[in-house]
């Protein structure tokens, strides 16, 4: 609170950089610390489609020997994955090819629900990976329903991957991070099967 204009200016700069590499669109979701003023200013920024518990139109990924359809779903805080997934029910039942479904969320706790509804990938943050770790793998508090060792990294729930970043901000004790450096990841997706023989429950594939 009190830094909304500065946050919007920074976001506008990021949007310019994103549009320079844009092939399929630039999408965003809001988190629990985004005030009404932040959301108002952000919606004015050119080139960003804000997905507030809804899905974007199916995108066709060019440059492949076989066509690939991509569905992006955005879950802004407070997240409502059921509402967003029900919106897909109004689309044609059969898509050819079947869309790869990527969910953008703030809270990683939606991972299990999204897995139940057939999402391919869930990209989230919120936890700051604990921000303060007594040891690299032990956080005192993560603001998440997930177990502490799953506060960041690559998780898997059945056939759904969850990518949880450490982020760049602080939720408390502003400016203080211990054993938990900031992270602004760039994910590069490539086609391929999920590893076989994995447990069916929620587990951590790679910790950050």
Lowest mean pLDDT, pick from 39-43, 47-51, 61-65, 87-91: 87-91
Helix (H, G, I), strand (E, B) or coil at 128: helix
Q: Where are the alpha helices (DSSP H) in the chain?
A: 4-20, 36-42, 81-88, 111-116
Does residue 162 carry a pLDDT above 90? yes
* pLDDT of the residue at 195: 75
pTM: 0.88
Does residue 173 carry a pLDDT above 70? no
Decide: 128 and 166 in contact? Cβ < 8 Å. yes
158 CB neighbour count, 10 Å cutoff: 14
Decide: 178 and 123 in contact? Cβ < 8 Å. no
Within its chain, how far is the Cα of 178 from the centroid?
A: 24
CA distance 147 to 155: 11
């Amino acid at each position: 609170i009190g830094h909304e204009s500065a946050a919007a200016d920074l976001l506008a700069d990021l949007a310019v950089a994103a549009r320079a590499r844009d092939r399929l669109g630039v999408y965003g979701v809001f988190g629990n610390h985004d005030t009404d003023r932040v959301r108002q200013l952000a919606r004015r920024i050119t080139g960003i489609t804000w997905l507030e518990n809804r899905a974007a139109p199916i995108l066709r990924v060019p440059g492949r020997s076989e066509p690939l359809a991509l569905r992006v779903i955005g879950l802004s805080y407070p997240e409502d994955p059921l509402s967003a997934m029900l919106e897909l029910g109004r689309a044609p039942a059969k898509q050819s090819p079947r869309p790869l479904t990527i969910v953008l969320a703030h809270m990683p706790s939606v991972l299990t629900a999204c897995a139940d509804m057939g999402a391919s990938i869930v990209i989230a943050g919120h936890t700051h990976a604990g921000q303060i770790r007594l040891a690299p793998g032990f956080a005192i508090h993560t603001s998440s329903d997930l177990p502490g060792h799953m506060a960041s990294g690559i998780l898997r729930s059945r056939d759904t991957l969850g990518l949880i970043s450490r982020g760049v901000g602080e939720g408390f004790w502003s400016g203080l991070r211990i054993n938990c450096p900031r992270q602004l990841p760039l994910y590069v997706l490539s086609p391929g099967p999920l590893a076989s023989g994995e447990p069916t429950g929620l587990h951590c594939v790679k910790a950050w």
